[in-house]
Amino acid sequence: MNNIQITFVGGDMRQLSSAKALHTKGNTVQVYGFDGCLIPNGIYQPPTLKEALFGVQCVVLPLPYARDGKINAPMTKEDITLEYVVDNSGEAIILGGKFDGKAYKCAEAHNIKMIDYYGREELSILNAVPTAEGAVEIAMRELPTTVFGMECAVVGYGKVGRVLAATLNALGANVTVFARRAEARAWAKVDGCKAEDTEKLATSAHGFTCVFNTVPAVLIDESVINSLSRDALIVDLASSPGGVDVGAAEKRGIRCISALSLPGRVAPDSAGMIIAETIENILISEEIIK
């Protein structure tokens, strides 16, 4: 397998972990935008972004790639723009998370290939594990009871919902899955959970100590919240704007914790390894690594 030059621009500890993983595979790896951070051995941080981008075959941007119109680079005070990265990347392929129309238009204008690693199936499957573990950790921290024997609702049975339900089951919780599709409810039963249609959330909510939402639509609405015990906890794992009527929860005095980006917060090393694996798969499929 050939080794290539890769530069990571911006991001958090996940990117450093990912850079380290790709370096151990024999690639030449640089990072930029990590002022004052401890850079892993063997990885170089050039003094300027232009130097970091010169002659590389792959540029890796963070997840998400941008915040407030700039590259998401919380570890540096320098403002880094996508336009500058694209202008100075030569013919390198650019990978990043949650690319939008602006990003793709910029790449098209410069005839550069850009791929969103966040959209890869293997990343979303593997990321479900730290997301589920982080969600359970929140419940353990916020509730005065053990997970063992707890009545839990998991709303949605996609990748995160399925891994979360399995994790809760393994800890001895009593798990009820609420899903719209009959197929998903059938899988939930096969996996050892009780299963109900999401339409029954409001009539069943009174019995749950913790409700985990994974659906990015407001299914935990006022009718559901009014049925919950005031001691209940809602953990919202859905992407912005979430799936909970937060105003109704506040009005009733029910705690609702929005838990976005859990992999990067609770397990940055593992999340970085997952990103590295996904990047390597993309580079092999694009025949950049052979």
The stretch 183-202 carries a mean pLDDT of 96
106 is written with which tokens?
A: 């910029």
- Do 167 and 133 form a contact (C-beta atoms < 8 A)? yes
Please check the confidence at residue 194 and state whether its pLDDT lies above 90.
yes
Please check the confidence at residue 157 and state whether its pLDDT lies above 90.
yes
Mean pLDDT in the chain? 94
Distances (CA, A) of 269 to 65, 145, 240, 265: 19, 29, 24, 10
Return the sign of the alpha-carbon dihedral for residues 281, 282, 286, 290: negative
- pLDDT for the residue numbered 69: 87
- pLDDT for the residue numbered 223: 95
User: Do the domains 125-259 and 5-119+267-285 match in fold?
Assistant: yes
- Do 93 and 288 form a contact (C-beta atoms < 8 A)? yes
Distances (CA, A) of 279 to 59, 109, 282: 10, 24, 5
Please check the confidence at residue 1 and state whether its pLDDT lies above 80.
no
Please check the confidence at residue 104 and state whether its pLDDT lies above 90.
yes
d(CA 242, CA 65): 20
pLDDT tier for residue 146 given thresholds of 50, 70 and 90? very high
pLDDT tier for residue 101 given thresholds of 50, 70 and 90? very high
63 is written with which tokens?
A: 């997840």
The stretch 84-98 carries a mean pLDDT of 94
| Three-state secondary structure readout of the chain | CCCCEEEEECCCHHHHHHHHHHHHCCCEEEEECCCCCCCCCCCECCCCHHHHHCCCCEEECCCCCEECCEECCCCCCCCCCHHHHHHCCCCCEEEECCCCHHHHHHHHHCCCCEEEHHHCHHHHHHHHHHHHHHHHHHHHHHCCCCCCCCEEEEECCCHHHHHHHHHHHHCCCEEEEECCCHHHHHHHHHCCCEEECHHHHHHHHHHCCEEEECCCCCCECHHHHHHCCCCCEEEECCCCCCCECHHHHHHHCCEEEECCCHHHHHCHHHHHHHHHHHHHHHHHHCCCCC
The stretch 109-127 carries a mean pLDDT of 93
- pLDDT for the residue numbered 204: 93
Please check the confidence at residue 124 and state whether its pLDDT lies above 80.
yes
Backbone phi, psi, residue 110, to 5°: -105, 5
**Residues sharing a CB contact under 8 Å with residue 181, sequence separation 6 or more, in sequence order:** 157
CATH 3.40.50.720 fits 5-119+267-285, yes or no: yes
What percentage of the chain has pLDDT greater than the value 90? Answer: 90
Write down the domain spans for the chain: 5-119+267-285, 125-259
d(CA 282, CA 290): 11
CA nearest neighbour of 23 among 60, 53, 66, 62: 60
Please check the confidence at residue 231 and state whether its pLDDT lies above 80.
yes
The top-level CATH class assigned to 125-259 is alpha beta
The stretch 33-45 carries a mean pLDDT of 92
